[in-house]
Amino acid sequence: MRETKNRDTLCIHAGYTPGNGEPRVLPIVQSTTYTYDNSETMGNLFDLKESGFFYTRLGNPTLDAVEQKIAALEGGVGALLTASGQAASLMAIHNICHSGDHVVASSAIYGGTFNLLYKTMAEMGIETTFVSPDVTEEELNAAFRENTKCVFAETLSNPSLVVTDLEMFARVAHAHGVPVIVDNTFPTPINCRPFEFGVDIVTHSTTKYMDGHATQVGGVIVDSGNFDWRNGKFPMFTQPDESYHGIVYADSFGKAAYITKARTHLMRDIGAQAAPMNAFLLNLGLETLALRMERHCANALAVARYLQQHPKVSWVNYPGLPDNPYYERAKKYMPNGTCGVVSFGVKGGRQAAMNFMDHLEMASIVTHVADLRTCVLHPASTTHRQMSDEQLREAGVSPDLVRFSVGIENIEDILSDLEQALEKA
């Protein structure tokens, strides 16, 4: 492929360049395994002395192409597709945090990630301190402990739409010798590339905008290659891995140490790999990602402005609105637009919000977001229903919050659907 940095072109061409007579479209390699002429070659593959595919849990040509495309879009050294966004978050953290370690996380994160940290990882012996996304540098500093191994946040949080001060989070984390992991699902690399602001590792639920068509559940971890794993805090990269023939990841893989270990150690043992068919579907979505994000953002801004002047709407949250508390941060980190999700409150609270939703004719009520079809959800009674009112408040989710995920339909149709449903709310 011709060298380019343009993300709209990378969406289409990165990761797969067919040779003479080969398929134009990325093929689905629906095979668990790959054959070799002799067992010596196979042995070298197992020892990671040669690169090649031998078992789809550890690598597959379809997955590989999509991983390269996403790594190119984020500007990283490598990527690893996972079975879901949840698997990506778990593996991104567990690759460097073990029992007895500590995580500092923003409280403005996806409900599933909150549970993962608060419940499952705590049960694994990994403790998390949640901090407000609006912490000062001093407050963030104070959350660190001797055993802190990483900081976790979302670029633009689902569903509270908080914009994290990525540079400040990275500066503080690096002062403590630990990396920052950021879930970049909502802006996608089209609207924000966290590595440009000092973030070390990026995760995504590819289920959302990256796919965009609601056809597969998937996730991805991307490595910037910039973190220094030799600083004494991460022996898993500098000491021999006895489960992998004594390999020392930082010596053998340099800048790609983190993402290689995530694959050869964690994916080997956990087995939450993506399916080739899902990677193929994800790739189709990625081809139009740049185009779709532009339309999502334009439509969402129009919806936010419309809702802002509507008498039945009590508040509107969209970081693209100039009076939004995160407007300046959004301008800095996402100058071309944020995402297609707008949240708002309907006057009358929880019941009015549910009435409004029941009257929508085009927008569908689904447990999904960031789809090309306009869709809507009431987080307090669905995705976040296991959280206490206190936890909801900390996550920025009020009981009347409607999460409206603006699709790429004609804006006139989206607005007229809103109009008639609000009238009946």
Binding site for ligand PLP (CB under 6 A): 84-86, 110, 112-113, 154, 158, 183, 185, 205, 207-208, 217, 219
Nearer to ligand PLP, 45 or 297 (CB): 297
Of residues 260 and 405, the one with the C-beta less far from ligand PLP = 405
Query: DSSP assignment of 47-88, as one string?
Result: TTSS---SBTTT--HHHHHHHHHHHHHHT-SEEEEESSHHHH
Angle, vertex CA 393, rays to CA 389 and CA 396, nearest 5: 140
- CB 355, min distance to ligand PLP, A: 26
Give the shortest CB-319-to-ligand PLP separation in angstroms: 15
Distance of alpha carbon 89 from alpha carbon 187, whole angstroms: 17
Q: Shortest gap between Cβ of 116 and ligand PLP (angstroms)?
A: 9
Find the DSSP H helices in 166-213: 166-175, 188-191
Token duo for residue 56: 């789809």
Give me the least distance between CB of 169 and ligand PLP, in Å please.
Answer: 16
Query: Which tokens in the block code for residue 42?
Result: 């196979």
Half-sphere exposure of 51 (CA within 13 A, CB side): 8
Cβ-based neighbours of 252, under 8 Å, separated by 6 or more: 48, 260
92 vs 96 by CB, closer to ligand PLP? 92
Q: Output the residue with the shortest Cβ distance to ligand PLP.
A: 85
Chain centre distance of CA 139: 25
Tokens of 277: 């068919």
The smaller minimum CB distance to ligand PLP, of residues 94 and 233, is found at 94
Q: Which is nearer to ligand PLP, 366 or 415 (CB)?
A: 366
Q: H helices then E strands: how many in the chain?
A: 19, 12
CA gap 93, 91 in Å, rounded:
5
> Closest distance between ligand PLP and the C-beta of residue 205, in Å?
3
CB 194 within 8 A of CB 184: yes
Tokens of 301: 């801004």
Question: HSE on the CB side for 424, CA within 13 Å?
Answer: 13
Nearest partner of 219 among 300, 116, 123, judged by Cα: 116
Q: Quick one: 62 or 158, whose CB is closer to ligand PLP? A: 158
> Least distance from C-beta 326 to ligand PLP, angstroms?
16
- Cβ of residue 186: shortest distance to ligand PLP, in angstroms? 6
Of residues 208 and 378, the one with the C-beta less far from ligand PLP: 208
Looking at the Cβ atoms of 205 and 317, the one nearer to ligand PLP is: 205
Q: Which lies closer to ligand PLP via its Cβ, residue 174 or residue 384? A: 384
Give the alpha-carbon dihedral of 204, 207, 213, 216, to 10 degrees. Answer: 130
Maximum pairwise Cα distance, the chain: 74
Whose Cβ is closer to ligand PLP: residue 217's or residue 395's? 217
Q: Outline where 198-288 has alpha helix (H).
A: 235-238, 249-253, 257-261, 268-270, 276-287
Closest separation between CB of residue 162 and ligand PLP, Å? Answer: 12
